[in-house]
Structure 1
Amino acid sequence: MSSNHARIGCGAGFAADRIEPAVDLVEKGGLDVVALECLGERTVSLAALRRLADPRAGYDPMLRKRMAALLGPLARTGTRLVTNAGAADPVGAARMVRDLGAELGAPTTVAAVTGDDVLDRIDLSAPAWEDGAPLESHGEIVSANAYIGADALLPALRGPAPVVIAGRAADPSLFLAPLAHLLGWEAGDWARMAAGTLVGHLLECAGQVTGGYFADPARKPVPGLARLGYPIAEVGADGDAVITKPPGTGGRVDRLTVVEQLTYEVTDPRAYRTPDVSLDMSGVDVRDRGGDRVAVRGARGRARPEELKVSVGYRAGFRGEGEISYAGRGALDRARLAAEVVRERLAGALPRLRADVVGHSALHGEALAAGAEPYECRLRVAGLAGTREAAEAVGEEVSALYTSGPAGGGGLRVGTSEVVGVLSTTVPRERVATEVVVFEGAE
């Protein structure tokens, strides 16, 4: 398929993102494709852990709710949808969406892209990027997912399915693949692969490029933040693009919002490596055209890496948590005393324990908080242990502060949860074999 212009939007930038802006995009954005980027490194590992407990729980828990809101608008407008919300079970996700379409009277054919799960193909004796220690030395490995690229998604897009669901597809690849399909770009055309990856990088966090997370009332005001519109890219056949948002929505799109997103999570702007290309964004030109329209061009590209990054999840123990608030005169001193009490009572019981006073020193430590005296603050104590029972001791001791700690504590909240650690490694590209499984919608 080839045309001179494509219009693509981002309807989700993380797993818990809002749903209404995606509906607005599909109904009012005049899109060819909407992408939902719903995975982070920890998200896919948590999904794998859920699936171990329940074989039906491996995909994004919000996917059914998202699709229930979107299937009707997608059918009415003819917009296609691409997402990595399949997480640890893209096949199960696709089957669920097919069945949901039948249930809602909106028959939908869904394609699942598989093959990112490489747990049986990685070298567990290989060093983790993070600390150089062998992967297997960190604990029980529960997942290993390769970042697949546009080449894995394109076979599904060349078919008739209006909904394409993958697992750990790289964030910008969710946008590059539809652009390459619509505009007829070839995989070895590094300039266009770079241009499409740049568009994907700008859109992938959804509301971040339209004023969300950017907003700072005193310095960077954003109008209508409660009605934040999500981004659209108008992309030409040469890869030049305009970033905008649906008319009448809140937020702002200008050079500042676009440049802030451009530099987001970029270590080396001359070599931003994805499964599809090594993107050089150092020469990108960003020009504000006014009216919530920003033109971007000038991406350069080099050949894609021969290896794919792999996100590896492992069981890292259990986290026990407890929170309690203090207010009024002396609140900070009482919160500090409570922290000392819990530390002493749990001395030696947990290998890792920390206590922070939220509202005073939780983010930057005591050194930067000197001289500040809050009227109210909240103590948070968290500890990591090898067993759930050991971790529960944190919540038990924080709860005990009610009557055996400083005066005036209240607003208690405690909990215990399993922790998934995340490591990184690579796998040779040739070891990753992706496939497309299609679930036909019943008429």
Structure 2
Amino acid sequence: MEDEQNDGAYNCEIRLRENPQRRKDKVVIGCGAGFGGDRPFAAVKLLQRVEGLDYLVLECLAERTLADRYQLMVSGGVGYDSRISEWMSLLLPLAVERGTCIITNMGAMDPLGAQKEVFNVATNLGLHLTVAVAYEVALTKSGSRSFLASEGGASTYLGAAPIVQCLEKYQPHVIITSRVADAALFLGPMVYELGWNWNDLQLLAQGSLAGHLLECGCQLTGGYFMHPGDKYRDLSFELLSNLSLPFAEVGFDGSVCVAKADGSGGVINFSTCAQQLLYEVGDPASYVTPDVVLDFGNVSFHSLSRDKVACVGAKPSDQCIPEKLLKLIPKDYGWKGWGEISYGGYGCIKRAKAAEFLVRSWIEEVLPGVTECIVSYIIGLDSLKATNISEATLLEQYSEDIRLRMDGLFEQKEHAVQFVKEFTALYTNGPAGGGGISTGHKKEIILEKELVGRESVLWKTRAEVTEVMDLSQAISPKDDPVKDHTLRGTHWQAGREKTASGARMELPSLEVEVAPAPADQRIPLYNVAHSRAGDKGNDLNFSLIPHFPSDVERLKKVITPEWVKQVVSSLLDMSSFCDPDAVKKSNCWVNEHVKVEIYEAKGIRSLNIMVRNILDGGVNCSRRIDRHGKTISDLILCQQVVLPPSSDILSCKLALGIVGGVTLWPLSACVQGSSCAFDLPKSEIRKMSNYSSMDGVLYCKTHFEQLFKETGSFTKNFQSTGKSETKQNELLARNPSKLSPLFSGTQDKCATCNKTAYPLEKVTVEGESYHKSCFKCFHGGCPLTPSNYAALDGVLYCKHHFAQLFKEKGSYNHLIKTASIKRNAALAAEEEAQAEAAATTEAEAKEELEKEPEPEQS
């Protein structure tokens, strides 16, 4: 609540909104930046490409970024993101023209300073703006009523409430914040526009899901996803160069669709959404944000088009709202000193080993005991610890281009400086052929984490309006940076993406055939799953998302805490040349301090793994070349594993369900008890590569080889589906399949397509049966669930479109008539197509008969 004595500041206790109003049925929110080093021109493109964008969020503040800002401010620099002028100069003209509000956390440690900078930009552009700020404040140590922003550099993750207040009080063009939780930057405008309240926890969960998916920018649309050589993720360079930043359409009922600009490059699909869903969340069933604790365990994704995906299933966790908030407190953590030198040619690794030995010996002479602060590794050999070569000596033998790096974290500046001096001495005192030395030292800090009560965290908002000025003094159109950029060739038109040569760019499909991974043989995890790694302080988080969803059950038997710990333990090796005692010491430390937690996200059939205390102190002070641990996803994927056979009775490689985009349903069962014969059009069968046939009967390759090749006999008594239907039915009667309950005993017809709906694929509502793939909104094609639909005159709608079409207009008659006409027309078209198919079949049969040679005359 607001404290009268605290100069209009509010604490973070939950206060319900008074009479919240729904201003829109749907709000469109884009992500213009996913981290501090993102590309401003990509945000300009998003504004150009997506009309009707209500908000553009620039999320530029990571834990390390905040620490860097604090250090700069202490040393006399600015405490806000110094690129804010560049961003606003490019975005403001078009954003104001389009009516798009910009929300950003680029205020960092000094949001008021950032506000002044934006004023200067707006003045130079001749723009009349309202710029609001929302920021944390803290009482001075003396306890006076004056406030200082984030005294001592400490900052707390705020929720969406300060942003909502800015929108309610000021209707600003720009909102600048200090530390705000990433998802809350997006949730704020949803709460304001859609009339949500702070106890609408289900809506807040869906909104926070949208924010979490958007917050890392192009990671949702193909960035940090493309992987040449991986058939599931192999995008062309041109497709990747034309990425679209993502945006979300969020309805007042909590419906969420994430999307990229129509016809743009990149990709947004189940795989990209699944990677981002699990990115840095730890336990998917308990992801804590300041506004709601989220349960992502049953979230699922449904592609509506090449450029849009529906997101469902987020809900509040058992602990709905966190009682405490996360506070980050900067602490001194010593001094970093490092050096690098390159060696090439014959025996270069042995020379690097000699150089490392010399530097350690020299500094030990001057500062005994300091060598324990130093780690070393060889770039090009083991710096990422991601190699999986069984014969390490072979790699060493053929390496002719490597770089030794030594990195120390010392208690005193003098120690770091001395280390740099000793390393530089390698030029004339080290092994032959060393060159390209680079060294440095710097002060390091860490961000200690502390949970604090909501009542003790205070925040304020304020806003200022730029002066109206003589527009003749403003930047002329020819100087407009947005238009300048457009003239340099980045202007975009929907559906007309072009390559550098001017030809229209084709947007290939990434759909590939999927099948269960092979069993009982060594294969790399690349063949089974894809992954993304992230960090939280000193903890590593990586996902494993199977290409074939059912393989998650087999992965769970292999990916154990012990397996994970064994794979990642090399990250804590102190040297590329560890002696046995050092290895033993490192292993003891790993066993005592490194903890592994494995979680399952059942909605996307995936695993999320947390490894505690593995990142050498975390991004702010790690001595590793990859401070974030980003490369560890591929360290995991290149490991060889042996998967057990599937215990699922549907384990034939030609598995039931959707394979390669084709829906397969069995006509009959083979005597092995697995469904191997399928009633498919020949055109669809040609798409498949993992089947064999005999006398017109289809078999998975495994059973085909067992039945025919291995026995050397091709005269098994199996009846073809085309030879004798009666004999086949008798065989099935004598040998009922284990799967028969799933595909027999039903005469139910799908109410949408009028085809048989088998139990495995059936949804039953209001006495009608539907295929799961047909159970969609009649108006918008949105996927439905039995607990989330509305029906009128037998026609199904999602609740969002039902409310738009009927409740808000107050009349049902004209729409009932329209729906009936459309449904009858669809049935008539289907009957006509069936008649044409029958006629074609009859004509082909007649043509075959005419081709038969007449009998010879005797």
Normalising by the residue count of structure 1, what TM-score does the alignment of the two structures yield? 0.90
Asked whether the equivalents of residues 133 and 462 of structure 2 are also in contact (C-alpha less than 8 Å), the reply is yes
Aligned residue for 1:156, secondary structure, equals helix
Instruction: Mark the CA change 1:264 to 1:16 in structure 2 (over 3 Å): closer, same or farther.
Output: same
Query: 2:226 — aligned with what?
Result: 215
Asked whether the equivalents of residues 80 and 114 of structure 2 are also in contact (C-alpha less than 8 Å), the reply is yes
1:30-49 Cα shifts (integer Å, max 9, x gaps): 21101111111222122122
Greater alpha carbon shift after TM alignment, 320-329 vs 368-377? 368-377
Greater alpha carbon shift after TM alignment, 350-359 vs 421-430? 350-359
Q: How far apart are residue 301 of structure 1 and its match?
A: 1.2
Map 1:238-387; keep pairs closer than 5 Å: 238-302=253-317, 303-347=320-364, 348-349=369-370, 352-364=373-385, 370-371=392-393, 372-373=395-396, 374-387=399-412
Query: 2:164 — aligned with what?
Result: 154
Instruction: Mark the CA change 1:39 to 1:9 in structure 2 (over 3 Å): closer, same or farther.
Output: same
Q: How far apart are residue 214 of structure 1 and its match?
A: 1.3
Query: 1:194 — aligned with what?
Result: 205
Instruction: Mark the CA change 1:116 to 1:205 in structure 2 (over 3 Å): closer, same or farther.
Output: farther
CA distance in 2, matches of 1:174, 1:375: 49
Query: 1:417 — aligned with what?
Result: 442
CA distance in 1, matches of 2:50, 2:139: 37
Asked whether the equivalents of residues 351 and 384 of structure 1 are also in contact (C-alpha less than 8 Å), the reply is no
The structure 2 residue matched to 1:26, chosen from 47, 62, 67, is: 47
Aligned residue for 1:434, secondary structure, equals strand
Matched, 1:401 2:426: yes
Q: How far apart are residue 397 of structure 1 and its match?
A: 2.5
Matched, 1:175 2:186: yes
Which residue type is aligned with residue 131 of structure 2?
A: V
Which residue type is aligned with residue 43 of structure 1?
A: T
Q: How far apart are residue 365 of structure 1 and its match?
A: 8.0
Q: How far apart are residue 110 of structure 1 and its match?
A: 1.1
Aligned residue for 2:228, secondary structure, equals coil
CA distance in 1, matches of 2:331, 2:372: 18
Q: How far apart are residue 152 of structure 1 and its match?
A: 1.9
Matched, 1:66 2:91: no
Aligned residue for 1:172, secondary structure, equals helix
Q: How far apart are residue 61 of structure 1 and its match?
A: 2.2
CA distance in 2, matches of 1:201, 1:329: 50
Instruction: Mark the CA change 1:352 to 1:396 in structure 2 (over 3 Å): closer, same or farther.
Output: same
Asked whether the equivalents of residues 137 and 460 of structure 2 are also in contact (C-alpha less than 8 Å), the reply is no
Q: How far apart are residue 83 of structure 1 and its match?
A: 1.0
CA distance in 2, matches of 1:367, 1:117: 51
The structure 1 residue matched to 2:134, chosen from 113, 126, 138, is: 113
Which residue type is aligned with residue 221 of structure 2?
A: T
Query: 2:63 — aligned with what?
Result: 41
Query: 1:126 — aligned with what?
Result: none
CA distance in 1, matches of 2:359, 2:346: 22
The percent identity for this pair of structures is 37
CA distance in 1, matches of 2:181, 2:137: 10
Instruction: Mark the CA change 1:249 to 1:367 in structure 2 (over 3 Å): closer, same or farther.
Output: closer
Map 1:80-91; keep pairs closer than 5 Å: 80-91=101-112
CA distance in 2, matches of 1:68, 1:39: 20
Instruction: Mark the CA change 1:333 to 1:268 in structure 2 (over 3 Å): closer, same or farther.
Output: same
Asked whether the equivalents of residues 261 and 307 of structure 2 are also in contact (C-alpha less than 8 Å), the reply is no
Q: How far apart are residue 11 of structure 1 and its match?
A: 1.1
Map 1:48-59; keep pairs closer than 5 Å: 48-54=70-76, 57-59=78-80
Q: How many residues align?
A: 423
Greater alpha carbon shift after TM alignment, 300-309 vs 144-153? 300-309
1:140-163 Cα shifts (integer Å, max 9, x gaps): x94221100011211112222111
Aligned residue for 1:294, secondary structure, equals strand
Structure 1 unmatched runs, 5+ = 122-140
CA distance in 1, matches of 2:353, 2:32: 43
CA distance in 2, matches of 1:161, 1:120: 33
Select the structure with the greater relative contact order (CA < 8 A; seq sep ≥ 6): 1
Which residue type is aligned with residue 67 of structure 2?
A: S
Matched, 1:435 2:454: no
The structure 1 residue matched to 2:122, chosen from 101, 114, 128, is: 101
Asked whether the equivalents of residues 146 and 308 of structure 1 are also in contact (C-alpha less than 8 Å), the reply is yes
Q: How far apart are residue 192 of structure 1 and its match?
A: 0.7
1:62-89 Cα shifts (integer Å, max 9, x gaps): 2222122211221221111111111111
CA distance in 2, matches of 1:168, 1:196: 19
Normalising by the residue count of structure 2, what TM-score does the alignment of the two structures yield? 0.48
Instruction: Mark the CA change 1:296 to 1:388 in structure 2 (over 3 Å): closer, same or farther.
Output: same
Asked whether the equivalents of residues 350 and 391 of structure 1 are also in contact (C-alpha less than 8 Å), the reply is no
Instruction: Mark the CA change 1:212 to 1:63 in structure 2 (over 3 Å): closer, same or farther.
Output: same
Aligned residue for 1:111, secondary structure, equals strand
CA distance in 1, matches of 2:162, 2:116: 19
Asked whether the equivalents of residues 325 and 377 of structure 1 are also in contact (C-alpha less than 8 Å), the reply is yes
Asked whether the equivalents of residues 292 and 322 of structure 2 are also in contact (C-alpha less than 8 Å), the reply is yes
Greater alpha carbon shift after TM alignment, 316-325 vs 341-350? 341-350
Asked whether the equivalents of residues 6 and 179 of structure 1 are also in contact (C-alpha less than 8 Å), the reply is yes
RMSD over aligned Cα, in angstroms? 2.1
CA distance in 2, matches of 1:117, 1:346: 45
Asked whether the equivalents of residues 250 and 256 of structure 2 are also in contact (C-alpha less than 8 Å), the reply is yes
Asked whether the equivalents of residues 27 and 77 of structure 1 are also in contact (C-alpha less than 8 Å), the reply is no
More strand by proportion, 1 or 2? 1
Aligned residue for 1:115, secondary structure, equals strand
Greater alpha carbon shift after TM alignment, 171-180 vs 391-400? 391-400
Which residue type is aligned with residue 288 of structure 2?
A: R
Q: How far apart are residue 2 of structure 1 and its match?
A: 2.0
CA distance in 2, matches of 1:119, 1:208: 40
Asked whether the equivalents of residues 281 and 298 of structure 1 are also in contact (C-alpha less than 8 Å), the reply is yes
CA distance in 2, matches of 1:421, 1:279: 28
Which residue type is aligned with residue 28 of structure 1?
A: R
Greater alpha carbon shift after TM alignment, 56-65 vs 341-350? 341-350
Q: How far apart are residue 279 of structure 1 and its match?
A: 0.7
Which residue type is aligned with residue 223 of structure 2?
A: G
CA distance in 2, matches of 1:367, 1:399: 33
Which residue type is aligned with residue 180 of structure 2?
A: A
Aligned residue for 1:356, secondary structure, equals strand
Aligned residue for 1:289, secondary structure, equals strand
Query: 2:246 — aligned with what?
Result: 231
CA distance in 2, matches of 1:119, 1:342: 47
Which structure would you say has the larger Rg? 2
Asked whether the equivalents of residues 119 and 145 of structure 1 are also in contact (C-alpha less than 8 Å), the reply is no
Aligned residue for 1:346, secondary structure, equals helix
